[in-house]
Amino acid sequence: MTTRAEIAAKLDDFSFQKMNFGGFLMNKRAKNSHALWTRASDKGVTELTLLTTRDYGEGNVYDVAAFTLDGKVPEEIISELKQQAEALTDRVNLRAHGYVYTCLEPWDGGGTIWISKKPEFRALSRPGQGVHVIPIQRLTSTGEPRWLAWAREGDQLNIAIVYKP
């Protein structure tokens, strides 16, 4: 089984980031993520806790997940967040809120990515307790998202889902 420390060590290698965050734009996403990862002193890998999932068919799967930077989300918070995420997903179209997080970028969109204009699911977060909530659009055929890389630059938390640990 892959561990958080093993994934974090692999992220130092550009080829690993290229495999996870590469693709279109001549691997610009992987280059930018690798540069951010290598210059950040506050970084790591954590495990996602899925709060709810919706499968809309034809590979269109969306999740709402919670995470903390230092490990697992406390059980008492998970049960509350699951209820809130389910209720919100029943009221709001999760498909319009899901984001792929395929390279290290601001967890809240940073005001520059369209996801920053869709804060409903992130509003379930509990920053005072170190708990962040994100809506995820799964990549086709990658399976359930489990690992999340993070790097803090200044006050900005940047995240990316690591689908291929």
Confidence of residue 24 (pLDDT cuts 50, 70, 90): low
Give the pLDDT band of residue 128 (cuts 50, 70, 90).
very high
27: left (phi over 0), alpha (psi -120 to 50) or beta: left
pLDDT at 25 over 70: no
Q: Let me know: does 151 contact 42? Beta carbons within 8 Å.
A: yes
The SS3 call for residue 135 is strand
Indicate if the pLDDT at residue 26 is higher than 80: no
Q: Which residues pair with 53 in a beta bridge?
A: 63
- Indicate if the pLDDT at residue 137 is higher than 60: yes
